Amino acid sequence: MFPPDIFRHTLTRLVAILRRHGVRFHLTGGITSVAYGEPRMTQDIDVVVDNVPLSRAADAFIAAVSEAGFLLDPKQVRQAIAEKSMFQLFDMAEALKVDIYPRELVPGELDRSTVMEVLEGMPLPVASRADAAASKLVWASKGSHKSRRDLRQIARQMTAVDRSDLDRLARLLGLEGLLADLLAEPDEIAG
């Protein structure tokens, strides 16, 4: 588990490649938990990317990330892009993992990105607060216990507008019952 600043060099190189190839993206996952919830360590970088431009630039993207020092399986990356499934890059210089999601987990999330300085002096697009929470809700529905806690931490910092947006997204995802259950759970189990 790493503090977010350890990702600076990795993100600098990856973001330059995504921008050079016209691929919209935003950060999500543990980094958004840090930005919107409470400071915590995270194990990797999670990035949602627009699959349409990534598909068009797949070969050039694969060559560029490889030249930039990322370890990847080109065949697996091409297949993941075609299937809109997650693939991983491993930054050999920093010994860090990047999970790339070539699809939106929450419909329309890339259109609602917000730019913020998750790393000092490095403004980057990040999933909106409501989308970050909705993403955590989806992962919680798949069994992620860390996402359950992250969702509660993010929700505590929400404005009324953010909460209304989260409720709307939960309905859209068919997870409104789970949202109510998770928000009612205590963070710690009393012994």
Beta-ladder partners of 27: 47, 126
Task: State residue 187's pLDDT score.
Answer: 72
| Cα-based angle 100, 106, 110 (whole degrees, multiple of 5) | 65
Task: State residue 137's pLDDT score.
Answer: 97
Determine the Cα–Cα distance for residues 147 and 121; give it in Å rounded to an integer: 28
What are the residue ranges spanned by the domains of the chain? 1-127, 129-191
Q: Does domain 1-127 have CATH number 3.30.460.40?
A: yes
Q: Which pTM value belongs to this model?
A: 0.90
Q: What is the pLDDT of residues 78-119, one digit of tens each?
A: 999 999 999 999 999 988 999 999 999 999 999 999 999 888
